[in-house]
Amino acid sequence: MKRPTDWLRGAVLTFCLAASAAPAVAGPEDQPPRLSVPLPAGAPVTFVVYGDTRFTREDVANPIARRALVERIAAESPAAIFIGGDLVYRGDTTDDYGAYRSETLDWARRKIPVFPALGNHEFSGCDGEDPGPCLENWWQAFAELGLRPYRRYSVSIGRAVLALVLDSGASLKPHSEQHAWLERQMAAADTHYQFILIVLHYPPVRDAVFPHGRDEAEVERYLSGQAAAWHAKVIVVGSHVHNYERFSRNGVTYLVSGGGGAKPVPVFRMSGELSQLKTSVNFHYLRFRLEDERLSCTMVRFDAAEQTGNAWSEPDRFSVSTR
């Protein structure tokens, strides 16, 4: 196993020191960790969510788009970056994680914490029989987060947002361990946070032509029966589909953000899709901005084929409020 580089150790130390100033983690010690991103009081805050970056040196992604998105995100200096899975192309090799580290050096220099979800490519090469080597690579790549031995966790962004990072590869069926954890987290968060962000790889709501991955439909089923009674507003971001989509179901906003660099996949924008984008290729990330009681989201799009110097646009935006 490759050892972390010097810059990673520096980022680890800095993040740990910052996290130590945050409120203490609540709950039993044998539960997945609650991480914290401390924020200055009263100032607007920005964080980024996107997925399917596929950091690798293999020819299975668009490296121009991937690197352009990384550079643009770094320039925004968000408080945190959430990646909804398929960070790498092959989870069984440290080489892809090395590509991730080398291409995101600017994130590390700026000390931006990165919070990943597990996708199917994090297990690529382990063939489902023994995920241990792939998980070991993932845990080691994000050793500063202290996730081992867990595959799900939560992150508080100041006192307004709680992010729940789920494991799409584990059961989400009712009465499963992960579903029970999700229910406990949601019940506790509703009285303490204004917004709840759920990040997972397989999107619970997306273009109907795409097959389900595993149990992600259980997330929509659970939220549909509960969200109307909650004070906190819920936003769910999945990846996997290499495009962008936006839906609203029973008071919950569902987003597909899989435009981090992987080969684009067209969508038909049926079944109430709200953005109605006309472009079929949508490399992008999502910029969330928290101010007072409002959380706004902007889809920041990069056109890799644009040659006139105007490759960036913001073709979809929306906001949710607790008022």
Measured CA to CA, the distance from residue 256 to residue 85 in angstroms comes to: 12
Cβ-contact 119, 52 below 8 angstroms: yes
**CA end-to-end span of the chain:** 50
pTM of the predicted protein model: 0.90
| Domain definitions of the chain by residue range | 6-321
Q: Give the phi and the psi of residue 298 in degrees, each rounded to 5.
A: -125, 130
Measured CA to CA, the distance from residue 167 to residue 119 in angstroms comes to: 8
Measured CA to CA, the distance from residue 88 to residue 295 in angstroms comes to: 29
Residue 202 CA to its chain's centroid (Å):
11
Measured CA to CA, the distance from residue 43 to residue 68 in angstroms comes to: 28
Q: What does the pLDDT profile of the chain (323 residues) look like in tens digits?
A: 333 333 333 333 333 333 333 333 334 457 999 999 988 777 789 999 999 999 999 899 999 999 999 999 999 999 999 999 999 999 999 999 999 999 999 999 999 999 999 999 999 999 767 899 999 999 999 999 999 999 999 999 998 999 999 999 999 999 999 999 999 999 999 889 999 999 999 999 999 888 888 899 999 999 999 988 899 999 999 999 999 999 999 999 999 999 999 999 999 998 899 999 999 999 999 999 999 889 999 999 999 998 888 999 999 999 999 87
- Using DSSP, state whether 63 is helix, strand or coil: helix
Torsion of CA 264, 125, 116, 236, to 10 degrees: 60
CB neighbours of residue 69 within 10 Å: 23
Closest CA to 135 of 150, 146, 155: 150
Which contiguous run of DSSP H or E holds residue 153? strand 153-157
Fold of the domain built from segment(s) 6-321: Purple Acid Phosphatase; chain A, domain 2 (3.60.21)
* 200, two tokens: 């997972």
